[in-house]
A and B are shown apart, each in its own frame.
Chain A
Amino acid sequence: MDHILVAKNVSKTYGDYTALRNISLEIPTNCIYGLLGPNGAGKTSFIRIINQITHQDTGEVLFNGEPLAPHHIAMIGYLPEERGLYKSMKVGEQALYLAQLKGLSKAEAKTRLKYWFDRLDIGDWWNKKVQELSKGMAQKIQFIVTVLHEPKLLIFDEPFSGFDPINANLIKDEILQLKENGTSIIFSTHRMESVEELCEYIALIHKSEKILDGKLSDIKKAYKNNIFNIGLQAEKDAHALLKTLEEKFNILSSHIDLAENQLDFKVQLPNSNTAGVLTELSSMANINRFEETIPSANDIFIQTVNNKDNGK
């Protein structure tokens, strides 16, 4: 597999403070890569190294197989968490300026801006001053400016903060579309719900160190603990049924609906072989629900961070 970005043993210190300790990451081309971690973990420090705003003290970063160099800047688009625009400048003029700083010619930038302004339905903002826009509106401009020069690698740091749900969805769709078009995307956040929807790969950074990385589906598999949610329709007495079951299985919690004779329970199985369990259960009652609980990214995040902090 191709990698748009490879980091090998990257470390960075600011005076006495270690921002990154021996971080190694491989970010595959044309995927959405989630860079997760609590606030202050070192995500932004790492991103600033990719953007060549700062440089690593030790280690190596490869962009598309080459050591990171100034000309790569034009191939990277970065939407920082701390973002803003010049307040007293006009929207169009400002977008043109920022696009030209990324190396686009004025004419090219103008054509592409027209396209994006129409696409996001903000064509009539061109001559407005930024201070007249709402926060969400300004965020749209920032998004456009980030993607305008069609970078190979896009870095979004908390992209949805400041958007209302409708516009957040709009931007999410645009991000997915960009991925479809072949862009590689790094998505940095501490908000897990968006990770599940978007990311194929994740890396978890905590206290300056990488503590977990890989394909999200693989990680989830590894974090499965054979807990199942099962719903049974008892034939006569749900309580009696529960008693029988409790002798055989490690039941974690249960709920009985007497009127319907319905028994719901959560059970931890000794292994992932469900075939035997299913046959056994079906001999006792009607199974109307049988599902494995897959840990959410949030669960994994919290569990890993806690394990790390407890020295496990």
Chain B
Amino acid sequence: MASKIGLIIRREYLAKVRNRSFVVMTILSPLLIVGMIVLIAYLAKVNDDETRVVAVLNESSFFMEEFQPTKNLSFVQFEGIGLEEAKDSTNALEYYGLLYLPNEQNVEKTAKSSYLFTKDNPNTNITQKLENIFQRQLRQDRLQKLGVSSEQFSTVEAPFEINLATFEGEKSMKGINEIKAVIGGGFGYAIMMFIIIYGGFVMRSVIEEKTSRIIEVIISSVKPFQLMLGKIIGTSLAGLTQFTIWIISASILLALAVMLFGIDLAQLSGDSPMPAGPMGAGMSQIEGMDSEMLLYAQEILDIPWGLLIVSFFIYFVLGYLIYSSIYAAIGAAVDNETDTQQFIFPIILPLMLAIYVGFFSVFSNPHGPIAVAFSLFPLTSPIVMLMRLPGGIGEGGVPLWQFLTSVGVLIVTFLGIVTLAAKIYRTGILMYGKKPTYKELVKWLKY
């Protein structure tokens, strides 16, 4: 009995793994993904690395020390030449532009009559940076007139960020809930994709057995339930194999790519819209951000990864079993894949709902009533609960009873659905030529 299921699992696994399109997808996907990452990183790097040179013709006695090179912008000082000459030189040397500061009696006037000459419309990043330099100097100049020394000015300029804390006194940070939800959402999304892709595989495999008419030969040797279970398990093992290969080969390829192309991955993640403060205002702020990043990293490390992975496994297994047995029942009920549409939609609906509820409701309020309801409802809980779990279980996270109830409900639902699906499956695999209606499926449950 058990050995028969083993035989079925083995056949389903091998049939899937040896399938040509499966092999191609398994090998190609990591290459494609890593290729994309490398390409994006490369483009970002090329974009970033382009240091623009602006020539400065400063005829005034101000702004002597202000034009310091930054990461993307450096300056070349022209001296002792006229404006037209300087323009020609800028063009000849292929600099980005020419900044001209005429000789005026004060900072205010100098700034007002300064010009930036460029070939085309200037890049806003550049103008922004130049404007910042002028603004800072103007502010300092105006304050000096009011009697503020330059040392005092530096103290005043020190950046500030508000401190955040929870009522329990725990230090909290801007956006950390969103980060946690994104991590949980990643897990939830992975479950949804796996269910849709591999549930589809199970369904097609059932349809194949029906159309090739081998089904009756097989179920004269094994029980339909054994065949269904073996098929579901075998297919999911093939899926796990594929995932494992993807993760391993993608990591290796990524490591290789980093070594070969010298791509800085931190730079990549820095580009993602982290909810940090407005970027790139001044040098001092960048330093402040580094320490803040460290705190975020600390917080991400504090996410209960062990719990998350264990519950990912629990929710994944139960969710997949529930959905794929429905898929198997659908495959048994129809004669060909085109007839499956009317039954597929109601299955995908709760999955989509879970993702949307997750992104719109759980992100903003992980423990609100909607999030709780959907993380208990068995058809959405595998996704929604995982989005809530990065906050941990217990105080400040998901209450223990909710977690246990959700798993319990899921197990009960699994047993119920598998029983119903097995009944439809048992009857459906021997039915040919009829396009079943929902009414008919209900009738099959009673046979």
Quick check: is A171 within 8 A (CB to CB) of the other chain?
Answer: no
* Selected A-B contacts with CB under 8 Å, 18 pairs: A14-B447, A53-B430, A73-B221, A76-B220, A80-B216, A82-B432, A83-B216, A84-B212, A84-B217, A85-B214, A86-B209, A87-B208, A97-B7, A98-B217, A98-B218, A101-B8, A101-B222, A145-B217
A78-B221 Cα distance, complex, nearest whole Å: 9
- Besides A48-B430, A87-B208, A101-B222, 5 more A-B contacts (Cβ < 8 Å) are A82-B213, A84-B213, A85-B212, A86-B212, A97-B11
Which residues from 226 to 259 on chain A have a C-beta closer than 8 Å to any C-beta of chain B? none
Q: Which residues of B contact A76 (CB under 8 A)?
A: 220
CA distance A97 to B7 in the complex (A): 7
Tell me whether A53 and B216 are in contact (CB under 8 A): yes
A76 to B209, CA, bound (A): 22
Q: A97-B11, A100-B7 are in contact. Are A53 and B219 (CB under 8 A)?
A: yes
Q: Which of B195-251 contact A (CB under 8 A)?
A: 208-209, 212-214, 216-222, 224
Measured CB to CB, the nearest residue on chain A to B427 is: A14
User: Which residues in A have their C-beta under 8 angstroms from that of B217?
Assistant: 78, 80, 83-85, 98, 142, 145
Task: Report the minimum CB–CB distance from B12 to chain A (whole Å).
Answer: 11
Residue of B nearest to A50 (CB): B220
With both chains docked as a complex, state the minimum distance between the C-beta of B8 and any C-beta of chain A, in angstroms: 8
Chain B residues contacting A102 (CB-CB under 8 Å) are 221
Show the binding face of B for A, using Cβ within 8 Å: 4, 7-8, 11, 15, 19, 208-209, 212-214, 216-222, 224, 430, 432, 443, 446-447
Residues of A within 8 A of B224 (CB): 53
Least distance between B394 CB and chain A CB atoms (Å): 48
Give the residue name and chain of the B residue nearest to A145 (CB). B217
Report if A184 contacts B (CB, 8 A): no
A89 to B15, CA, bound (A): 8
Per-residue CB contact flags for chain A residues 58-96 toward chain B (1 = under 8 Å, else 0) read 000000000000000100101010111111110000000
**Shortest CB distance A182–B (Å):** 21
Chain A neighbourhood of B213, CB < 8 A: 80, 82-84
Q: Does B4 lie within 8 Å of A101, measured CB to CB?
A: yes
**Is A29 part of the binding interface, using a Cβ–Cβ cutoff of 8 Å?**
no
Q: How far is the CB of A109 from chain B (nearest CB, A)?
A: 11
Q: How far is the CA of A100 from the CA of B446 in the complex (A)?
A: 32
A188 lies within 8 A of chain B by Cβ: no
A15 touching B15 in the complex, CB below 8 Å, given contacts A82-B216, A84-B214:
no
Residues of B within 8 A of A51 (CB): 220
Within 8 A of B (CB), among A126-181: 142, 145
Bound form: Cα–Cα A84–B208 in Å? 11
Q: Which 4 A-B pairs have the closest CB atoms?
A: A84-B213, A80-B216, A101-B221, A84-B212
Could you tell me the distance between the alpha carbons of A82 and B210 in the complex, rounded to whole angstroms? 10
Specify which of A73, A78, A82, A145 lies most central, judged by the most chain B CB atoms within 10 Å of its CB. Answer: A82
Query: A residues within 8 A CB of B220?
Result: 51, 53, 73, 76, 78, 80
Chain B residues near A78 (CB, 8 Å)?
A: 216-217, 220
CB-CB under 8 A from B4, the residues of chain A are: 101
B209 nearest CB neighbor, chain A only: A86
Name the distance in Å between A18's Cβ and chain B's nearest Cβ.
13
Min C-beta distance of B282 to chain A, whole Å: 65
Contact partners of A88 in chain B: CB under 8 A: 15, 19
Considering only CB atoms, which chain B residue lies closest to A106 in the complex? Answer: B7
B contact residues around A53 at 8 Å (CB):
216, 219-220, 224, 430
Residue numbers in B under 8 Å from A15 (CB-CB): 443, 446-447
**Which residues in A have their C-beta under 8 angstroms from that of B222?**
101
Least CB distance, A193 to chain B, in whole angstroms: 25
Q: What is the minimal beta-carbon distance from B337 to any residue of chain A, in angstroms?
A: 15
Q: Which single residue of chain B is at the shortest CB-CB distance from A97? A: B11
Q: How far is the CA of A89 from the CA of B222 in the complex (A)?
A: 19
Residue in A88, A101, A145 whose Cβ sees the most chain B Cβ within 10 Å: A101
| Best-buried of B209, B213, B214, B446 by chain A (most CB within 10 Å) | B214
Residues of A within 8 A of B221 (CB): 73, 98, 101-102
User: Complex Cα distance A80/B446, Å?
Assistant: 25
Residues from chain A with a CB closer than 8 A to the CB of B15 are: 86, 88-89
* C-alpha gap A79/B209 in the complex (Å): 16
Q: Give the chain A neighbours of B219 by CB distance below 8 A.
A: 53
Give every chain B residue within 8 A of A87 (Cβ-Cβ).
208, 212
Docked CA distance A83–B7 (Å): 20
In the assembled complex, the Cα of A98 lies from the Cα of B217 at a distance in Å of 8
Give the Cβ gap from A307 to chain B, nearest Cβ, in Å. 31
Interface positions of A from 45 to 59, Cβ below 8 Å from B: 48, 51, 53
Closest residue of chain B to A99 (Cβ to Cβ) is: B221
Cβ of A101 and Cβ of B218 under 8 Å apart? yes
Complex Cα distance A48/B430, Å? 10
Cα(A48)–Cα(B431), bound, Å = 13
CB-CB < 8 A to B208: which residues of A?
A: 86-87
CA distance A48 to B222 in the complex (A): 13
Complex CA–CA separation, A83 to B221 (angstroms): 14
How far in angstroms is the closest Cβ of chain B from A84?
Answer: 3
CA distance A85 to B446 in the complex (A): 30
Chain B residue nearest to A80 in the complex (CB): B216
Give CA–CA (A78, B219) in the complex, Å: 10
Once the chains are docked, how many angstroms separate the CA of A53 from the CA of B227? 12
Bound CA span A15–B427, Å: 12
